[in-house]
Structure 1
Amino acid sequence: MAPGSLVAACRSLALSTWLLSFCFVHLLCLDFTVAEREEWYTAFVNITYMDPATSEVRTEKTECGRYGEHSPKRDAKGVVVLPASPLDRQACDPHTRFVVPSQAAAGWIALIAHGNCTTKDKIRHAAAHNASAVVIFNVGSTNPNDTITMRHQGTGEVVVIMIPEPKGREVVSLLERNITVTMTITIGTRNLQKYVSRTSVVFVSISFIVLMIISLAWLVFYYIQRFRYANARDRNQRRLGDAAKKAISKLQVRTIRKGDQETEADFDNCAVCIEGYRPNDVVRILPCRHLFHKSCVDPWLLDHRTCPMCKMNILKALGIAVSPAPLRSGSVSFQRLTVSVFLPAERRLPGRPPAGLRPGELQPMASSASVASLVIAVETGLSDEEGSMDRPHLGAKS
């Protein structure tokens, strides 16, 4: 996989991750001013009655009520009245009667149980008897102290509130004992309930899913390409290593004997191990006439294929010809590596032999060399950058 493709994949993955993070932040820090909201008001409920046992007037005031959504937000006061029939405390029958005492002519408040029919029906049945307010106590809720904002559009100017079940049953108990109860309803606290709109939730959810899919796809694609690249590179290195071994085997090797110039004190040391040459040391002579201990230079040549001193490419010096196929980004291509090794022919060297050679030894002559060609099919996925690094060392012999 070419570097440009890897960079593009990494950038796309980073962009996807950034967008995903942005969506998370948007979800956690969503501006609720653009989301849907619900406004509701609490109600103070003040009940006053005379205790028949002590003849004392008792007053209880709590902020336990909640105004209905379509109720006028104003005060209301009057005598509390239940439906006349004990079996119709929910006031769902259109013919529900309310026995209104004479002292409640100025205004009265209907106390009705929740359930069995719509809140709108209950309010309309009580309003038909001129009730100035309707108090509905919550029945059947999981939490007995819960109240909700009731919806009752089209019920006129009747004040409607809901109170918890315990409070409602307390007032019902007093009325069933024929105790007159006066209730005063006043406006309590304004509340603004905010919640995320469904549109925002759907948008964030879809964005999250899409970006997760994109990120996962890029991640899988990236690692597959990296695996293919690493696998092809390893195969290429192994096969190039085999070619290097064959080339190294063609280089000259000799054994230092006592009295050779290499054993003299002013002769250069081995550039790999920085040790001098001693008799019986086996040295390898490179085409550039530099010599090194065989055990020192062979691993170096296997990895680098260059002289440790002058950096001459031994493959090029030995005539290894390479005709690489054009590399394609993001794909694994095949190319044939032709290794031509020029074997040295016998020839006596006149006069003083070059450094590193003893009289009677062989010198490589390209003009009289016999050629052995090694053709190796190399599967490679090297990037353009790596290919350009190897081309100077693997060029055709001029």
Structure 2
Amino acid sequence: MALSVIQTCRSLALSTWLLSFCFVHLLCLDFTVAEKEEWYTAFVNITYVDPDTAEVRTEKTECGRYGEHSLKREARGVLAMPVAPQDRHACDPSCRFTPRGHGAWIALISRGNCTYRDKIRNALGKNASAVVIFNVGSSNPNETITMSDSGTGDVVAIMIPEPKGRDLVLLMERNISVHMHITIGTRNLQKYVSRTSVVFVSISFIILMIISLAWLVFYYIQRFRYANARDRNQRRLGDAAKKAISQLQVRTIRKGDQETESDFDNCAVCIEGYKPNDVVRILPCRHLFHKGCVDPWLVDHRTCPMCKMNILKALGLTSSAECLNELPLDYELAVGGVALNAMVMSDDVMGGDVVGGRGPGVRMVGLPQVLLDSEPLSQDTLSTEQSECH
């Protein structure tokens, strides 16, 4: 009974642990990623005429990145940058752009000295159709970021790496007309881990591990206590059985006894017949067996091998010893332990007389009337203990 309860508790605890683990896993998926950034790359296609060879050169690379609030659409036009070198950042609203021709043009601006919004607004004030800002001062030369350009209106604004921007500036400083075509590239989803969420999930995981460890410690302590209690109870029952065996009738088979006849039942333990001078043990149910065969059986089982009669009950020794296997783990055998210990530990038991009419080989040992080292147990007490046991 106790073992089944422990197994049930273990299954319940394992299920709880698995559910808790799944819960923490869901927390990791839902809360560690606190922020998500969606951004788009931009294909930058430039076309210009090489003044040395008069050849038309075209370069197309996916090196740009659209701003956070930029329109995600294509744009095209001639590149133009601020005329004055000190205005290359386009932070001054009065800076001048001199695009070639009268069509759409795209402003090329250097990063730094002011916000992206100011740069874009100043370029839009000069009628630019799109704005290209090249990165400056980054540890990674090919790095681009998603510009925070809120409040700039409906305009295409992208960032390109510093080397690409420097190359375009050199071409324009040589008075080479550069035509740029911007198209939408790849959609990207970048996730950022929240420190608060990481701490929360870590604490939840640690708490789960502590609970699991505490349960394991509790489980193995209970299992150890149960095993010790069961072994102790088995030893006490074995001692009680030995004491009961010493009170059973022992007889030596003589030549001519009915047990030696061929039609008499064999020993149920060894399945052999009885022969003269065999020592047999007679149980209270009147079944007899070889003493060497039945004694070990009685120590282990305390019942008749044939009719399963309990020898402790038959001899009136049914104290709380029979309830030991059903006691809870933390019960200290306060009632049954006294009676059982008294029964096992007592050595002075009143002996019976030899039954008349039997030969000298027959010995009867009377039932115990007094249990020393303990208070006498009345028949009412034994009856009460038996009713509690069953």
TM-score tier, shorter chain, comes to 0.7 to 0.9
- Code of the aligned partner of 1:191: R
Aligned-partner Cα distance in 2 for 1:313–1:61 = 98
Q: 1:189: Cα distance to partner?
A: 4.1
- 335-344 or 259-268, which moves further after superposition? 335-344
Q: TM-score, normalised by structure 2?
A: 0.76
**SS of 2:369 mapped into structure 1:** strand
Aligned-partner Cα distance in 2 for 1:105–1:337 = 114
**SS of 1:373 mapped into structure 2:** coil
Change in Cα spacing, 1:320 to 1:12, as seen in structure 2 (3 Å) is same
Task: Give the aligned partner of residue 238 of structure 2.
Answer: 241
Consecutive unaligned residues of structure 2, counting only runs of 5 or more, are: 375-384
**SS of 1:43 mapped into structure 2:** strand
Task: Give the aligned partner of residue 23 of structure 1.
Answer: 23
- 203-212 or 57-66, which moves further after superposition? 203-212
Q: 1:273: Cα distance to partner?
A: 0.8
> Which has a greater percent of helix?
2
Task: Give the aligned partner of residue 386 of structure 1.
Answer: none
2:269 pairs, out of 256, 272, 288, with: 272
Task: Give the aligned partner of residue 44 of structure 1.
Answer: 43
Asked if 1 retains the 8 angstrom alpha-carbon contact of 2:91 and 2:113, the reply is no
Give yes or no for the alignment of 1:70 onto 2:65. no
- 310-319 or 115-124, which moves further after superposition? 115-124
**SS of 2:146 mapped into structure 1:** coil
- Code of the aligned partner of 2:271: I
Q: 1:195: Cα distance to partner?
A: 4.5
Give yes or no for the alignment of 1:307 onto 2:304. yes
Q: 1:153: Cα distance to partner?
A: 0.9
**SS of 2:371 mapped into structure 1:** strand
Residues 114-193 of structure 1 correspond to what in structure 2 (within 5 A)? Answer: 114-115=111-112, 117-141=114-138, 144-186=141-183, 188-189=184-185, 191=187, 193=189
Aligned-partner Cα distance in 2 for 1:360–1:107 = 131
Give yes or no for the alignment of 1:262 onto 2:259. yes
Q: 1:226: Cα distance to partner?
A: 1.9
Change in Cα spacing, 1:248 to 1:172, as seen in structure 2 (3 Å) is same
- Code of the aligned partner of 2:274: Y
Give yes or no for the alignment of 1:373 onto 2:371. yes
Aligned-partner Cα distance in 2 for 1:308–1:4 = 28
Q: 1:6: Cα distance to partner?
A: 3.3
Aligned residues with identical type, % of pairs: 61
Aligned-partner Cα distance in 2 for 1:284–1:141 = 101
Change in Cα spacing, 1:316 to 1:271, as seen in structure 2 (3 Å) is same
- 204-213 or 48-57, which moves further after superposition? 204-213
- Please tell me the root mean square deviation across aligned C-alpha atoms, in Å: 4.1
> Which has a greater percent of strand?
1
Asked if 2 retains the 8 angstrom alpha-carbon contact of 1:12 and 1:218, the reply is no
Task: Give the aligned partner of residue 330 of structure 2.
Answer: 331
Change in Cα spacing, 1:64 to 1:299, as seen in structure 2 (3 Å) is same
Q: 1:80: Cα distance to partner?
A: 1.9
Consecutive unaligned residues of structure 1, counting only runs of 5 or more, are: 377-389
**SS of 2:69 mapped into structure 1:** coil
- 127-136 or 286-295, which moves further after superposition? 127-136
Task: Give the aligned partner of residue 58 of structure 2.
Answer: 59
- Code of the aligned partner of 1:371: Q
Asked if 1 retains the 8 angstrom alpha-carbon contact of 2:38 and 2:187, the reply is yes
